[in-house]
Every structure is written in C-alpha cells, then in structure tokens.
Amino acid sequence: MRREDIRVLIIRAPGTNCDQETKLAFENLGTRAEVKPFMTVLREQDKILEYDIIVIPGGFSYGDYIRAGAVLGKKLITKLGKYIREFLREGKPILGICNGFQVLVEAGLIPGVEGKYVSLTTNISMRYECRWTFLRFVNKARCGPLSYVPRDAVLRIPVGHGEGRLVTDDTTLKFLIEEDLVVFRYCRPDGSFAEGEYPWNPNGSLYDIASLCNIDGNVIGMMPHPERAFFYWQLPDWTRNRENVTSMYGDGYIILESIVKYVENKF
C-alpha cells in the first residue's frame, strides 16, 4: 500500500483533547488522517472498514465519569463491536493513547482473552502525574505494528494521567508476560527497569507496564503520549540542545512511524 493512501481514523469524544496533535503527527508521516466525532462514526458505522488505522487519543472522554474510559469503552464495543471486530480480523491496527488505552481496556479489547482482565486505576501517588518518562521496548514478536521499533530501545515519552496504574491478578500478570503482551515498560534513563520506583514508574503499574497489546498483536494501548514527543521542539530541553539537533523528530516518531510502516508493507 502506498503511504499516501493509508487512511487514519482518529475518534474524538466529548472531553478528548489530544486529537489534533495526533492528526498532525500522522499527517507528517504522509498518511490521510481524519478526526471524527464519535457520534459521526456511529452514523457511518460501515465506513470504519475504509480506514487502515484507528486511533483513540488521549483526554478525558465523557469526563471520565464512572471511571477513566468507561463510557466510551462500553459505547465502542456495544455500538460498533461488529465493525471493530471485522476491522481487527483484517489485521488492521488500533492504537489507544492514555485515555485511549483506558477505553480499550474497558471495551475488553486488551488483553482480548476471555477470563483475563486488567484495570487502569488511580496512580499510587494519588495525584495527576504529568512528567517525562523513559520506556524500554520489550515486545519480542507479538506486536506486529511495532515490529520496526528497535529491540530494547529506550524512548523518552511524556505521560499525563491520574489513572494509569495497571493492576491485575497474579495469574493474568504471568499470562501477559509469558504470552509477550507487554510492549513497553517504564525504565530509568540507562534502560534499567524502574522496578516500581517513583518517579521512573510514575503511577505504580505492576511490572512497570506502560503499554500492552492484545493476543492478536494489533490492538495497542499505551499510557505515555507519543504524539507529544513527535517533533524535536516538543522536547523539554530542545532550546538548550538546539545546536546539537540532528533530527526534526523526537522519540514518539519511532512509535507512530512503525505503525504506519507496518500497514504500508502489510496491505
């Protein structure tokens, strides 16, 4: 597939606030990205299959009433489940960023296995965490859309959430690890895992999990925001290092470029 023919659907709901940054990033990658309100997507359900990538961006969809991502997550699977499942059966990727990750968990698309559930709950600090974090890419082969991210790459990506602490039971955690569903883990700048230590693990997630994929590898949820680290001028220290800048991109580019390249080469 030619990159300029790749269509990206970015679903916006009341309370979403990162849709335009996400659109700009995917447009910069040469794709045709569109932001559509959820109600419009509902009216045009069958058109979902015309897209190649679906993104649920960050924010506070429906005010995060009940709990983060719950309302949009249930609406997504009850009202659009038929087309979402067909989209995934075709091997196309869905990316959920921050609130989007919460939405995918609430919809049951991650981890996507009967009897295996995770939850994204209140940060262990009991406050909203907005800070730059380091992530280590640990997925071996399960997550095809991120197969172009270098193995063990350490990326600097920001977080901004109040409910990002991933929790689950011991059996499910073992399943996530053994089945290679863990995509990114929080780490220190040198790449060593955070081992729960704050602030390297900003929310207290079990096993330092920052990102998961589903059992088929094409649904990806991540708490950090790659669209907020896509360009070099979004980085917190770019003015101090402007003389040493060798690329117009930050580490978020690596993640989104991998997803686009995967679609480009697969379809």
Catalytically annotated residue among 18, 106, 225, 264: 225
Q: What would the two tokens of residue 264 be? A: 């480009």
Q: Which residue spans within the chain are E strands per DSSP? A: 7-12, 32-37, 53-56, 94-97, 119-121, 129-137, 154-161, 165-167, 182-187, 209-213, 219-222
Q: How would you class 89 by CB atoms within 10 Å of its CB: exposed for 0-12, middle for 13-18, buried for 19 or more?
A: exposed
Q: What would the two tokens of residue 124 be? A: 């262990």
Annotation marks residue 213 as catalytic? no
Q: What would the two tokens of residue 220 be? A: 């990806």
Catalytically annotated residue among 98, 143, 187, 213: 98
Catalytically annotated residue among 106, 129, 163, 227: 227
Annotation marks residue 178 as catalytic? no
Q: At what angle do helices 19-28 and 252-266 cross, to 10 degrees?
A: 60
CA 67 to chain centroid, in Å, comes to 18
Annotation marks residue 129 as catalytic? no
Please list the active-site residues. 98, 225, 227
